[in-house]
A and B are shown apart, each in its own frame.
Chain A
């Protein structure tokens, strides 16, 4: 029953994929947190908004690179602990994340465009508007931006939770596929439940 797991070599994502993944993670966490803070804020609003818009275009650029990377490089197969049903969940949530990460900055860009004001990022770089100035259009985009933000929080939370459960409870090295330490193959723990020990420090509890 556990012989596949015992002999499987841990397959990692390519170095570029891993870098892009963590870069996205840092950017998205920051942008979401700044976004939630700024819309309740008064004295910090203006500064946070400038940072938020700049991070947004950076995320858009990074995600476009990621889409190209994803379409040109097949990711490693999931560990054997992932069954049929979960495989479907994984593919769905991956597509949902890509969709959300592309849509959200574009909606933000269009939303600012629809107010008729210039779109300014990186302090003073003015980028073209991508939507006509229209109050009703602005409102739809503004509400959508909020909805997508909440969806992103939910999908990212589900993603992290799933990786944590796999890596810690199932000890299948799920997290290690994306980290920057070489996976240790089965060594001292060969006589225990036969899964290659994940490299992530959080899982090293023995």
Chain B
């Protein structure tokens, strides 16, 4: 028996107990460190840090399970059009999209929240996500909101607010004590809410101003860096008599009728920060007197129900940037990239259901 084993495993060496123990100890030590590192790195053990999965779990606890849909901004509609750049942005950024010329744009309008069947309400934050130059190599993806400032300055703040927003089944509203505790722990959100109250939303998507909220850096050919925030300001929409739909898709129906009758346009404005303006805190507005560059016009010409292959399947990650645009160190940017990626991975593998916003069903 000994001979067969030694021939198969070829030990021509006398094994003594000491060396066996030493060898096993070395292996055990290596495996403990190796697998321990993997478990710790993956957040499976001994971590107090907020992980990506914590956000996904919180979205599920608050919004329920909606397979195939984004975990936030679940309800939406796809749009397409183009950006006409006037070249004014070139002074600050070498991004090709800011040279004079036209770049195709694909995008998506959405409402905040993880319920794809939520009823449209005026106060719900509205999103406009755009991908300039999709699917090219110098794509610029941005996901903006119609708020003057964002409600949170940190990923922890967003997480705590999400958790506190859970609707109590008994009252149909969030728990007021949870809300009070949250606001006490996050005075930056209370301040942001004051600013938001002073800028009430417009009547619909078509005449909303959308903002990047997070700051970025424009980098020009000489390497000069300018901290910026960008926004889309509606052109002419507010002057038109707006259609007024009713029902749970009122805002989306209005939008669909508007684009159905004529293209909608926004100016792409870039605000330059002063050296004292905070670049990593999305809850703080920059003073109105800051220099604003008008870099061109975004025109949206078509609207489509979300389906395979259109904006439904694009992850509007704000860290997808062309050369000439770089992220600031606002912690929200990396967090958005991380959580969007987690949501994207999950919904990619889930069975898809029809979007609540059906363009074909809207009589123009």
A interface with B by C-beta (< 8 Å):
1-2, 4-5, 32-33, 36-47, 49, 80-86, 115-118, 124, 126, 133-136, 138-139, 142-143, 153, 156-157, 160-161, 164-165, 168-172, 193, 195, 202, 205
Chain A to chain B contacts (Cβ below 8 Å), 18 pairs? A2-B13, A4-B12, A36-B42, A40-B43, A40-B47, A42-B155, A43-B331, A80-B12, A83-B6, A83-B7, A83-B11, A86-B10, A135-B348, A153-B34, A157-B34, A164-B30, A195-B13, A202-B26
Q: A32-B38, A39-B42, A170-B15 are in contact. Are A118 and B136 (CB under 8 A)?
A: yes
Contacts across chains A and B counted by CB atoms under 8 Å: 163
Any chain A CB within 8 A of the CB of B215?
A: no
Instruction: Let me know if B12 and A81 touch, CB within 8 A.
Output: yes
Q: A83-B10, A116-B314 are in contact. Are A40 and B53 (CB under 8 A)?
A: yes
A14 to B217 Cα, complex, angstroms: 49
Q: A45-B334, A169-B15, A170-B15 are in contact. Are A118 and B320 (CB under 8 A)?
A: yes
Q: A39-B42, A46-B334, A168-B19 are in contact. Are A136 and B26 (CB under 8 A)?
A: no
A85 to B342 Cα, complex, angstroms: 44
Q: A135-B348, A202-B26 are in contact. Are A157 and B31 (CB under 8 A)?
A: yes
Instruction: Let me know if B348 and A124 touch, CB within 8 A.
Output: no
Q: Which residues of B contact A153 (CB under 8 A)?
A: 34-35, 38
Any chain A CB within 8 A of the CB of B218?
A: no
Count, chain B residues at interface, CB 8 A: 64
Instruction: Let me know if B22 and A205 touch, CB within 8 A.
Output: yes
- By secondary structure, the A interface counts as helix
Instruction: Let me know if A165 and B27 touch, CB within 8 A.
Output: yes
Q: A118-B137, A157-B35, A168-B23 are in contact. Are A43 and B41 (CB under 8 A)?
A: no
A49 to B335 Cα, complex, angstroms: 12
Instruction: Let me know if B26 and A168 touch, CB within 8 A.
Output: yes
A82 (CB) vs chain B CBs: closest residue: B10
A142 to B347 Cα, complex, angstroms: 12
Q: Which residues of A contact B42 (CB under 8 A)?
A: 36-37, 39-40
Q: Which residues of A contact B334 (CB under 8 A)?
A: 42-47
Any chain A CB within 8 A of the CB of B172?
A: no
Which of A41, A80, A134, A205 has the most B CB atoms < 10 Å from its CB?
A: A41
Q: A81-B10, A170-B15 are in contact. Are A139 and B338 (CB under 8 A)?
A: no
Instruction: Let me know if A171 and B335 touch, CB within 8 A.
Output: no
Instruction: Find residues 1-36 in chain B having any chain A CB closer than 8 Å to their own CB.
Output: 6-15, 19-20, 22-24, 26-27, 30-31, 34-35
Any chain A CB within 8 A of the CB of B249?
A: no
Contact of B27 among A41, A117, A161 (CB under 8 A): A161
A85 to B4 Cα, complex, angstroms: 11
A118 to B13 Cα, complex, angstroms: 56
Q: Which residues of B contact A136 (CB under 8 A)?
A: 348
CB distance from A129 to the nearest CB of B (A): 8
Q: Which residues of B contact A44 (CB under 8 A)?
A: 334
Q: Which residues of B contact A4 (CB under 8 A)?
A: 12
Instruction: Let me know if A43 and B335 touch, CB within 8 A.
Output: yes
Q: A40-B43, A135-B348 are in contact. Are A117 and B7 (CB under 8 A)?
A: no
CB distance from B104 to the nearest CB of A (A): 13
Instruction: Let me know if A46 and B327 touch, CB within 8 A.
Output: yes
B139 (CB) vs chain A CBs: closest residue: A118
CB distance from B113 to the nearest CB of A (A): 21
Instruction: Let me know if A126 and B137 touch, CB within 8 A.
Output: yes
Instruction: Let me know if A116 and B134 touch, CB within 8 A.
Output: yes
Instruction: Let me know if A42 and B51 touch, CB within 8 A.
Output: yes
Contact of B13 among A45, A134, A170, A205 (CB under 8 A): A170
Q: A45-B334, A46-B334, A82-B9 given; name 8 further pairs at CB < 8 Å.
A: A40-B42, A40-B47, A42-B51, A43-B334, A46-B319, A80-B12, A136-B348, A157-B30
A32 (CB) vs chain B CBs: closest residue: B38
Instruction: Let me know if A45 and B52 touch, CB within 8 A.
Output: yes
Q: Which residues of A contact B10 (CB under 8 A)?
A: 80-84, 86
Contact of A168 among B8, B22, B320, B348 (CB under 8 A): B22
Any chain A CB within 8 A of the CB of B247?
A: no
A142 (CB) vs chain B CBs: closest residue: B345
A2 to B42 Cα, complex, angstroms: 46
